[in-house]
Structure 1
Amino acid sequence: MNDNVQQLLHSLANAQRYFVHFTRISIFIVMAWIGGLKAFQYEADGIVPFVANSPLMSFFYTKDAPEYQQYKNKEGEVVPKNIAWHQENGTYIFSYVLGAVIIAIGLLTLLGIYNAKIGLLGGLLTVGMSVVTLSFLITTPEVYVPDLGGPEHGFPYLSGSGRLVLKDIIMMAAGLVVAADAATRILEERNTELATYEVQHVS
């Protein structure tokens, strides 16, 4: 192994803690951006198929699936009849609350840079949110290519929505990494406190 490669390996190894912090920052950016977009009509409309078909979340809406399919808005489109339906459905109120929750999870994860206990909570909540999101691969018909006559449809042919959902497995892994790092720091702090306590009482 030449010196340049060895130096690179040492640099990467020594920077591991910084990379974990970068992971926290990345989670926050994604959460804050996507959570913030939940305040806008097009994004609130876009999550309806996921929520309406989910046994864990459908109770947040007043209308049953698949009624929403008659009132879909394309991104950037404003159809008063459809918007009125979504208002009755509770689409926008739910989206506002969900957005605030997502931003809060991102903020807790970011604060893990400074406080391990808060970071542990943020990491675990990130994992939990990812589990719910990935469950949409089971509950939401729109995540797979529809049967419109082509040879590729249904499982495992992911639609655009399905491909976005699948990427949340990366978010889950990131949440596990930052949670594990926070747990390590908490244990290190406790061991240090215990060692200090023993030294003081022995002396």
Structure 2
Amino acid sequence: MSAIASTTHNPLVRALQKSGLLAEDLDYHVVRASMVIMFLFFGYQKWFPYEFERLVPFIGNGPLIWWLYPVFGHAGASYFLGVSEWTFGTLLFAGFWNRPLGILGALGSTGTFIATVTIIPFMPDGWDVAAGGFPAMTGNVPFLMKDVVLLAVSFYLLRQDVVRLIRQ
């Protein structure tokens, strides 16, 4: 019996098929929607004074974003990031219907997470010396580690949108 035939006899697989969980493109749409929601909420935070100071260790140690403070100041840098996050989230949202706009959103998202992932090696006190240093994360590094996954998700969306545009 083939592997496909044997899986269709599995009650769990049959239930998943009937549930719609295995519908084509469901994962793509769920990933896109989650990124839109994430950019909406993270962009919203950037408009408040508590976030201006919370960003200091990240922007101040970011090899690709350090320039935001000299150019915009603390509040302005936060506003700049908020506008950027809302712009990329909006473009990702538009990508549900318009592939070129989705590609722009995915490019912006990819750039965002390249910028944040590059902060990890430069974050002061990011590795717990008492626990032997790397890979024992401490301070802000654990928060930044989620961006490794978000970078992969951004790249996935970028690739999917480019492939889907080419196939149109």
Q: Aligned equivalents of 1:8 and 1:123: distance in 2?
A: 33
What corresponds to 2:111 in structure 1? 128
Give the 3-state SS of the residue equivalent to 1:167 in structure 2: helix
What corresponds to 1:5 in structure 2? 12
What corresponds to 1:171 in structure 2? 150
What corresponds to 2:36 in structure 1? 28
Any conservation in 2 of the 1:49–1:142 contact (CA below 8 Å)? Answer: no
**Identity level (%):** 27
TM-score, reference length from structure 2: 0.83
1:45 partner letter: E
Taking a change above 3 Å as real, the CA distance of residues 169 and 47 of structure 1, as seen in their structure-2 partners, is same
1:159 Cα offset (Å): 1.6
1:19 Cα offset (Å): 2.2
What corresponds to 1:58 in structure 2? 66
Alignment partner of 1:107 is 2:87: no
Larger CA Rg, structure 1 vs 2 = 1
What corresponds to 1:192 in structure 2? none
RMSD: 2.0
Taking a change above 3 Å as real, the CA distance of residues 96 and 153 of structure 1, as seen in their structure-2 partners, is farther
Q: Aligned equivalents of 1:60 and 1:176: distance in 2?
A: 25
What corresponds to 2:124 in structure 1? 141
What corresponds to 1:92 in structure 2? 75
Q: Aligned equivalents of 1:91 and 1:12: distance in 2?
A: 44
The runs of 5 or more residues in structure 2 that have no matched partner are 1-6
Q: Aligned equivalents of 2:10 and 2:66: distance in 1?
A: 58
TM-score, reference length from structure 1: 0.70
1:184 Cα offset (Å): 2.2
**Equivalent residue pairs, number:** 158
